[in-house]
Amino acid sequence: MIDAGLTPEERRRFQDIAVIRRILAESRTIGVVGLSGERQRASHFVATYLQRAGYRVIPVNPGWDMILGETTYPDLASVPVPLDLVVVFRRGQETLGVAEQAIAAGVPRIWFQLRIPARDAAERAAAAGLEVVMDKCIKIEHGRFGGTLAWAGMNTGIVSAKKALPTPRSR
């Protein structure tokens, strides 16, 4: 499977460029549900990337006490700090439960990672007023709009004659 096979209407609702950019720009503390402590797993790569990009990552995984130097919590209800965003690395059938936890915890935004079928969870979160992204990788999207994905020779789909904005790192 390459992706979750969203319809054009689902892509319009759950892959909106303006929503993605707002989430990347405004989030500071990110709960990562299903973050693995194993170094070569995709979730570990993504969380490492997010930390380096300046976000605080709060790992949520009942199997681990500490990941990437951060205390790890068994579920979203146990996280003692307010989260700006929840990123979900769980199987499709577990995503609805994660959405319910995020709603109960008052998290304003939820992001279901690439290749995870999460339609019911996305609909539930959207109905509760959360901003939702589905079937996208947050590392890829950050790299796309941060100007670094292009260095990997990937097709960002971005065409612009405007000068790039300075980033904190390049100032």
Q: Is 152 in the site for other proteins (CB under 8 A)?
A: yes
Of 4, 6, 55, 58, the one binding other proteins by CB under 8 A: 55
- Smallest distance from the beta carbon of 87 to other proteins, in angstroms? 13
Of 41, 92, 97, 100, the one binding other proteins by CB under 8 A: 41
Interface residues for other proteins in 68-87 (CB under 8 A)? none
Identity of residue 81: V
Q: Is 160 in the site for other proteins (CB under 8 A)?
A: yes
Return the residue matching tokens 């796309």.
144
Task: Specify the residue, 116 or 124, whose C-beta has the smaller distance to other proteins.
Answer: 116
Count Cα neighbours of 162 within 13 Å in the Cβ-side half-sphere. 7
* Alpha-carbon span 31 to 24, nearest angstrom: 14
Task: Specify the residue, 8 or 62, whose C-beta has the smaller distance to other proteins.
Answer: 8
* Alpha-carbon span 109 to 121, nearest angstrom: 12
Task: Specify the residue, 47 or 102, whose C-beta has the smaller distance to other proteins.
Answer: 47
Return the residue matching tokens 């990788």.
137
Q: At a CB cut-off of 8 Å and minimum separation 6, what does 122 contact? A: 14, 99, 110, 112, 132, 134
Task: Specify the residue, 38 or 62, whose C-beta has the smaller distance to other proteins.
Answer: 38
Of 7, 8, 9, 52, the one binding other proteins by CB under 8 A: 52
3-class secondary-structure state, position 10? helix
Q: Is 64 in the site for other proteins (CB under 8 A)?
A: no
Interface residues for other proteins in 109-138 (CB under 8 A)? 114-115, 137
Pairing outcome for strands 131-134 and 109-112 = parallel
Q: Is 17 in the site for other proteins (CB under 8 A)?
A: yes
Q: How far is CA 34 from the centre of its chain?
A: 12
φ, ψ for residue 89, nearest 5 deg: -115, 60
Applying CB under 8 A, the residues found at the interface with other proteins are 1-3, 17-18, 21, 24-25, 27-28, 39-42, 45, 48-49, 52-55, 114-115, 137, 140, 142-170
